[in-house]
């Protein structure tokens, strides 16, 4: 377990982000509901707009779910004492990087290498 970073602060930050995501997901579920195609009430363009909005809401929901899983994984790493270490090279992740993205699981070098692939 790392002693050189403020784990309490980072843990609280992760918990706050998780609470925001959970609250946001409740609102997104309604936007992702199937589009009703009642032709007597809605014109073709309006239906297309509704379908496009639904697709955008689903994509946003997928991104939110990925972020939720990253936060939960980071909280698990805090509990296990593995937080703050790169999952690839096992070197320490810089505290500045963790403060910017507390769910980061790769050091900057490994993250840059993964982006180039």
The per-residue pLDDT for range 52-68, each reduced to its tens digit, is 888 888 898 899 999 99
Residue 103 within a domain: no
Residue 57 within a domain: yes
Q: Is the pLDDT of residue 32 over 60?
A: no
Residue 54 within a domain: yes
Token pair for 84: 């703050």
Residue 45 within a domain: yes
Residue 30 within a domain: yes
Residue 50 within a domain: yes
Domain count, the chain: 1
Query: Mean pLDDT in the chain?
Result: 87
pLDDT of residue 64: 92
Residue 93 within a domain: no
Residue 15 within a domain: yes
Q: Is the pLDDT of residue 21 over 60?
A: yes
Q: Is the pLDDT of residue 85 over 90?
A: yes
The helix/strand/coil state of 3 is coil
Q: What are the tens digits of pLDDT across the range 33-46?
A: 565 555 555 566 67
Q: For the chain, first and last CA: distance in Å?
A: 31
pTM of the model: 0.78
Q: Residue 56 and residue 71: Cα distance in Å, rounded?
A: 23
Q: Which domain holds residue 48?
A: 7-82
């Amino acid at each position: 377990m790392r002693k050189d970073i403020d784990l309490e602060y980072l843990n609280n930050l992760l918990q706050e982000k998780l609470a925001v995501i959970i609250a946001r997901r409740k609102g997104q579920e309604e936007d992702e509901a199937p589009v009703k195609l009642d032709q007597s009430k809605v014109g073709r363009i309006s239906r297309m707009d509704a379908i496009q909005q639904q697709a955008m809401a689903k994509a946003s929901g997928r991104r939110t779910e990925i972020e939720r899983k990253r936060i939960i994984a980071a909280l698990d790493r805090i509990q296990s004492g593995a937080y703050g270490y790169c999952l690839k090279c096992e070197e320490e992740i810089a505290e500045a990087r963790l403060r910017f993205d507390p769910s980061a699981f790769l050091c900057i070098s490994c993250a840059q290498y993964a982006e180039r692939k």
